[in-house]
Amino acid sequence: MSTEVRVPQLPESVADATLVTWHKKVGDAVARDENLADLETDKVVLEVPAPAAGVLKSLDKAAGSTVTSGELLAVIEAGAAAAPSAKPGSKPEAKKDQQTAKTTGAKEAPPPAARVAPQAKEQPPGKLSPAARRMVEENSLSAGDIAGSGRDGRISKSDVSQHLESGAAPARPAAGRAERRVPMTRLRARIAERLVEAQSTAALLTTFNEVDMQALLALRARYKDAFEKRHGVRLGFMSFFARACIEALRRYPVVNASVEGADIVYHDYYDIGMAVSTDRGLVVPVLRDADQMDFAAIEKAVAGFAERARGGSLSIEELTGGTFSITNGGVFGSLLSTPILNAPQSAILGMHRIQDRPVAVDGAVVVRPMMYVALTYDHRIIDGREAVQFLVAVKESIEDPARLLLQV
């Protein structure tokens, strides 16, 4: 009995997906619910589980294909036996090799020079003459791409010369001049599209300030062990900055607003996007109703986002919406930057590296752990006064964390 494997129902906002890779090949045994392939959409990677156990009979779509919901991907034959695969070093193969060696005799033995060649793994001994081997190494060629005219496919110098003259394999490029062409992933292409859209549709402007992190660092050092023991999650900085931004958004609601046509849409809720960097690109999962979450809930959510983002298991719902975003370039060592807002949001806060710097405090020069913070905003609806005051409010909350508890 055959079972069809089809593209699962894609989210409503996703039209199609790219078949990134197959984890099985034709003839392989598969178990029910085993992941057969990965599908990449504009935002997430979806797994294709096997609907039944059996043997993979056919693959109807190649890796790199664009697919839509319900398309046929593969066929599984239930109850069939998997194709046998010979194990390396098994006794039958060993006997076969010994028998071959006896019948062919010493005439077929490779020359000593070939056995000690530095690229013996890539250029099998016995297939290249010494002169041909030298040409292959000097031109960075692969022996597997060259047709040999000698006995048993042996490659001669003339075979290599003809291969070079045909233009099938270019000579080694000059040092430092090599290049590779790799197509963008769907996620990277979508990121590029949204960033260009934000640059071309919004009037972006960035304002900066600096925050003295000494009080927050002291508070964190004092309570981080007790916090982790009680809540099972580390106490980081994101929860403090998220709470500080929420308090500032309450004071300056236009920073939490968005533009729709000729209207300004004010949001009376606080869905905070947290930028997370992955190998595939930057994603921004959203903390829903973040104003209703305590510090532990925010830290757990952020840790969960990071883990699932790197594993490609975030859902579409977790990546859509949001009224304001926070990004932290400081984890990569960035001292200062101008973040680009996540449209249709109208503002984004950029955190940066904490660095000891001399600053003036009460008329004296002291060394303090300082962080530059940046607010990029849409100047169409947010004036400079509101942007600066928002950033000052965030600064005050971080420099005096008690304000977050008292909401002053």
327 beta partners: 350
pLDDT of residue 185: 78
d(CA 48, CA 34): 8
Residue numbers annotated as active site:
379, 383
d(CA 262, CA 397): 34
Per the structure block, which two tokens stand in for 174? 């000059």
**Number of CB atoms found within 10 A of residue 338's CB:** 14
pLDDT of residue 384: 95
pLDDT of residue 176: 62
Q: How far apart are the first and last CA of the chain?
A: 69
pLDDT of residue 78: 81
- Measured CA to CA in angstroms, residue 48 lies from 23, 283, 317 at distances of 10, 22, 19
Domains of the chain: 2-77 (2.40.50.100), 110-173 (no CATH), 186-406 (3.30.559.10)
The rounded average pLDDT for each run of 10 residues, N- to C-terminus, in the chain (408 residues) is 85 77 88 86 79 88 86 83 52 48 45 41 53 71 77 73 68 64 79 86 95 95 94 94 96 96 94 87 90 94 89 81 94 93 93 95 95 97 96 96 79
Per the structure block, which two tokens stand in for 171? 């000579």
Per the structure block, which two tokens stand in for 260? 């729709």
Sign of CA pseudo-dihedral 154, 160, 166, 170: positive
